[in-house]
């Protein structure tokens, strides 16, 4: 094979971010925003995207460079040309790093005939995210590989949800590594307060599982809003996120909360399909970039 294009999706959390780092349950959905990686055989290593054109570069392309290095341990990669294109906003809580990692692993896997299966891809993706971010749960990389709605850490696939999903991007970069370490510090200093908050978030996910299965969006919304209050309590909200969250709720969304690490980045609202435009307009009016999307069953896939 001379060249191949693979893509992998971003994700939103219905419930459970941050708590999942400590083994609590979370429910995460792959969404219809994707990162595409076109890989072709070459004499040298070249990585290109809107961020620029370079060789192995751990500052500009930490995830892709790490994938190339890791996969060079299992196959002989003399040269490869990787061209990245994405409609997942970077550093915004939508799993852009997991998507580029997983799409790159699958592209190299197929280009060099490594014979990796989906579980191997998700596992390697997780080890790369963990190395770069310090602490990372397997959630983002697993969901990006498998697609659909997934309950973690059980890795249990739930029924796909079919309500409207409106994402609001604050446009403020958020560092997952920083936010995860802020929560770790809070937990270390106040374990008797923070531990019950994290286990309550886990309980929200466990309670939410049946509601997701029954597609009871109003009740899912109630739990997502409670989850938001607890995320605020552990310090991962921001004034910009709060503005978008309350704007979406006031415009009739079932729910609105942070998705991902928080501190900036994105919020997500669930809405009846007939209310999606209203919710999106309210987010825009409150200063965010609104993205209307849906949950997708499609994880990593070949594009050509
Ligand atoms: C980031 O998308 C979600 C966090 O829970 C971190 C992780 O699970 O690795 C904040």
pLDDT at 133: 81
**Which residue among the candidates 57, 140, 195, 243 is catalytic per the annotation?**
140
User: How much is the average pLDDT of 59-83?
Assistant: 95
Q: Are 24 and 205 in contact (CB under 8 A)?
A: yes
| Cα–Cα distance for residue pair 283/280, rounded to 1 Å | 5
pLDDT at 136: 82
| Cα–Cα distance for residue pair 196/117, rounded to 1 Å | 38
263 pocket-lining for ligand 1 (C-beta < 6 Å): no
284 burial type by CB count under 10 A (0-12 exposed, 13-18 middle, 19+ buried): middle
| Cα–Cα distance for residue pair 160/28, rounded to 1 Å | 11
- Residue matched to tokens 């739930």: 158
pLDDT class of 134 with cuts at 50, 70, 90: confident
| CATH fold for the domain made of 164-293 | Alpha-Beta Plaits (3.30.70)
| Cα–Cα distance for residue pair 137/151, rounded to 1 Å | 13
Task: Calculate how far, in angstroms, residue 11's C-alpha sits from the geometric centre of ligand 1.
Answer: 11
Task: Calculate how far, in angstroms, residue 139's C-alpha sits from the geometric centre of ligand 1.
Answer: 7
pLDDT at 13: 98
pLDDT above 70 covers a percentage of the chain that reads 100
CATH of domain 3-158: 3.30.230.10
20 pocket-lining for ligand 1 (C-beta < 6 Å): yes
Q: Residue ranges per domain, the chain?
A: 3-158, 164-293
Query: What count of other Cβ atoms lies within 10 Å of the Cβ of residue 148?
Result: 19
86 pocket-lining for ligand 1 (C-beta < 6 Å): no
Task: Calculate how far, in angstroms, residue 1's C-alpha sits from the geometric centre of ligand 1.
Answer: 35
Statement: the pTM of the whole predicted model exceeds 0.75: yes
pLDDT, tens only, 224-271: 999 999 999 999 999 999 999 999 999 999 999 999 999 999 999 999
Residue 30 bridge partners (DSSP): 11
Within a 13 Å sphere around the CA of 124, how many CA atoms are in the beta-carbon half? Answer: 26
Is 162 one of the annotated active-site residues of the chain?
Answer: no
| Cα–Cα distance for residue pair 132/70, rounded to 1 Å | 13
pLDDT class of 91 with cuts at 50, 70, 90: confident
Token readout for 36 is 């595409």
pLDDT, tens only, 280-296: 999 999 999 999 999 99
pLDDT at 176 over 90: no
24 pocket-lining for ligand 1 (C-beta < 6 Å): no
Task: Calculate how far, in angstroms, residue 231's C-alpha sits from the geometric centre of ligand 1.
Answer: 12
| Cα–Cα distance for residue pair 112/77, rounded to 1 Å | 8
pLDDT class of 135 with cuts at 50, 70, 90: confident
| Cα–Cα distance for residue pair 177/75, rounded to 1 Å | 30
Do 3-158 and 164-293 share a fold? Answer: no
| Secondary structure percentages of the chain, helix, strand, coil, to 5 | 45, 25, 30
């Amino acid at each position: 094979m001379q060249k191949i294009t693979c893509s992998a999706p971003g994700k939103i959390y219905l419930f459970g971010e941050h708590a999942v780092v400590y083994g609590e349950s979370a429910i995460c959905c792959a969404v219809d925003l994707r990162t595409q990686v076109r890989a072709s055989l070459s004499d040298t290593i070249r990585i290109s995207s809107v961020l620029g054109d370079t060789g192995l570069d751990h500052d500009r392309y930490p995830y892709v460079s790490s994938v190339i290095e890791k996969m060079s341990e299992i196959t002989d990669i003399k040269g490869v040309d990787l061209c990245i294109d994405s409609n997942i906003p970077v550093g915004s809580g939508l799993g852009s790093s997991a998507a580029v990692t997983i799409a790159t692993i699958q592209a190299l896997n197929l280009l060099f005939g490594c014979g990796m299966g989906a579980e191997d891809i998700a596992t390697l993706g997780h080890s790369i995210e963990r190395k770069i971010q310090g602490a990372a749960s397997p959630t983002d990389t697993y969901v990006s590989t498998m697609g659909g709605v997934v309950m973690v850490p059980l890795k249990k696939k739930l029924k796909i949800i079919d309500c409207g999903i409106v994402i609001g991007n604050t446009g403020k970069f958020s560092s997952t590594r920083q936010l995860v370490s802020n929560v770790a510090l809070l937990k270390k200093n106040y374990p008797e307060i923070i531990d019950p908050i994290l286990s309550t978030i886990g309980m929200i996910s466990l309670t939410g599982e049946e509601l997701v299965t029954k597609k009871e969006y109003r009740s899912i919304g109630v739990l997502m809003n409670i989850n938001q209050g607890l995320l605020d309590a552990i310090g991962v909200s921001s004034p910009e996120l709060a503005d978008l969250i309350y704007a979406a709720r006031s415009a009739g969304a079932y729910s609105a909360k942070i998705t991902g690490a928080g501190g900036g980045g994105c919020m997500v609202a669930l809405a009846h399909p007939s209310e999606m435009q209203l919710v999106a307009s309210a987010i825009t009016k409150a200063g965010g970039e609104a993205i209307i999307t849906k949950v997708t069953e499609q994880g990593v896939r070949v594009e050509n």
